[in-house]
Amino acid sequence: MSYKVARIDEIDDIDYRQDTHMHPVRYHLGISAFGANAWTVENVGDRLMPEHEEDAGSEELYVVLRGRARFEIGGESVDASAGTLVFVEPLTNRTAFAEEAGTTVLAIGSKVGKAYEVGGWEVWAPVETLYEAGEYEAAIEMAGPIADANPQYGSVLYNLACCEALAGRKEDAIGHLGIALDRRPGLRELAREDSDFDSVREDPAFKELVA
């Protein structure tokens, strides 16, 4: 690819947790050196991004591109008009709400001291609400084609394996976890302690995978 052009409004948004809408900028443009997503809302008061903390080492910069947002970070409130830059350190709780209709925030992120790893988080995002609601069969049905279309993303396969383990589909879970760990060996440590895999924890094939 020599270069690629887009507008945030042209990138289809994904319904994500806590009624948020995320435009997968990194995925759409094929960026692999850092993460980038845009969050948009329709109405005043709507939540722009889910309340969350980032892992140790994960830095995020939020840029208000349009409208006005109210960030809530570590218990403090920050008024952010268009052009405001909000940099949030890892392990700090953050969320944001729109103070004007049509507010748009661009989020950029990567890990300190580590090469950026494309996990495929954005690709999984549409399934996340089903997973959180405990609707594992529905999540598996939705995630199957996504995993098939994006075989390079270890995290997608990992999450699919979680849903399968939770739904009692042990063989499928172990099969997909195996591929996921091939793609992202760093997930092995997570799998060892992830309670989503409790139903397969004593299975010899699982033990071998996480050994």
Partner 1 sequence: MAAGYKVSSLDDLDYWGYKETQTGRVRHELGITAFGVNSWLGPNVGDRVIPEHAEDQEGDQDELYVVVRGRARFEVGGDTVDAPQGALIYVPAGPNVRTAFAEEPGTMVLAIGATAGRAFEVHGWEYWGPYHDLWVAGDYEGVVAKGRESIEANPHPMPLYNLACCESLAGHSEDAIKHLGMAIELWEDGRDLARKDSDFDPIRDEPGFKELIA
CB of 44 to partner 1, least distance (A): 20
Which is closer to partner 1, CB of 37 or CB of 155?
37
Residue 150 identity: N
Residue 13 DSSP class? P
- The number of C-alpha atoms within 13 Å of 1 and in the hemisphere containing its C-beta is 8
The verdict on 203 binding partner 1 (CB under 8 A) reads: no
Q: In the window 98-137, what residues touch partner 1 (CB under 8 A)?
A: 104, 106, 108-116
Q: How far is the CB of 88 from partner 1 (least distance, A)?
A: 5
Whether 23 and 11 have beta carbons less than 8 Å apart is answered as: yes
The binder of partner 1 chosen from 13, 46, 89, 172 (CB under 8 A)? 89
83 is an interface residue for partner 1 by CB under 8 A = yes
Look up residue 46 and give its two tokens: 């709507």
Q: Please list, residue by residue across 84-117, b when 16 or more beta carbons sit within 10 angstroms of its beta carbon and e when fewer do.
A: bebebeeeeebbbbbbeeebbbbbbbbbeeeeee
Residue given tokens 């060996």 in the structure block = 185
Q: Shortest distance, CB of residue 205 to partner 1, whole angstroms? A: 32
Q: Which residue number, 79 or 171, has a Cβ lying nearer to partner 1? A: 79
Q: What are phi and psi of 5, to 5 degrees?
A: -120, 140
Binding-residue total with partner 1 (CB under 8 A): 52
Question: Is there binding between residue 97 and partner 1 (CB under 8 A)?
Answer: no
Annotate each residue in 16-55 with x if it binds partner 1 (CB under 8 A) or - if it does not, as one string: ---------x---xxxxxx-x-------------------
CB 124 within 8 A of CB 14: no
Q: Which is nearer to partner 1, 86 or 156 (CB)?
A: 86
Of the candidates 80, 82, 85, 83, the residue with the CA atom closest to the CA atom of residue 70: 80
Residues that bind partner 1 (CB under 8 A): 1-9, 25, 29-34, 36, 57-59, 61, 63, 65-66, 73-74, 76, 78, 80-89, 91-92, 94, 104, 106, 108-116
